[in-house]
Amino acid sequence: MPAFTRLAFTCSDRPEAIEACERLIARYGQCETAEAQAIVALGGDGFMLETLHANLANPKPIYGMNRGSVGFLMNDYAEVQLLERIATAEQAIIHPLAMTAIDNRRRQHRALAINEVSLLRQTRQTAKLAISIDGKLRMQELVCDGVLVSTAAGSTAYNLSAHGPIVPLTAQVLALTPISAFRPRRWRGALLPHTARVTIQILEAEKRPVSAVADNYEVRDVVEVHISENRDISLTMLFDAGRSLEERVLAEQFAD
């Protein structure tokens, strides 16, 4: 990789992230994002997602350092040899999911998700959902707390907590995972080609309202949601040599 000399530092609002950002700017200087070769994000995984979303229109390589609570998507924090670490870092190229959610007033809401699009019940009533893949009805009725579609990069996040599969980055598949499925009780989800177009219809939407969430963007009272991968957008995350995202995802499958 080429040498990196123009960095733009950004940080979460945690005190340790702010202090680290100030020290790194004093040491390496600060460049405007538009002119930077790479962005250095200081915080946790949530802040990494925020930074990726903030740069969707003009993607830059993003090198994260952990100054938060969860750091699966972040590198270890160190102030020395930062330029060398970024120059020798391994790239992870990811593509977000595109969500189009239609609410009960037939308004369309569009958003992108780097981790997952999740549908969640809004009340004590379980959700009833119908799932179609590429226009073909695959599940006539799923009774559950919700369901999610995850990217490979997001498969170790909410998807894993919902007992979904960990997906290698090179597998080119999406994970479709139920959340507390009641019926069919034994259904554990599906692995879909990354080209799949997923349509989820909410059954009995008035009685059993459902919200749709693309990472941190929520739409309430949806009646239909369309989800597909957006290959037109490529986002680049940088990871220290030997600690690539692919390696982390693989190692997570053997974690205690």
Active site residues: 45
Q: 61 phi and psi, to 5 degrees?
A: -60, 135
The DSSP line for 197-230 is -EEEEEETTTTS-EEEEETTEEE-SEEEEEEEE-
What is the per-residue burial (b if ≥16 Cβ within 10 Å, else e) of 167-184? bebebebbbbbbbebeee
Strands 38-43 and 62-66: parallel
| Structure token pair of residue 89 | 């870092």
Three-state DSSP class for 51?
Answer: helix
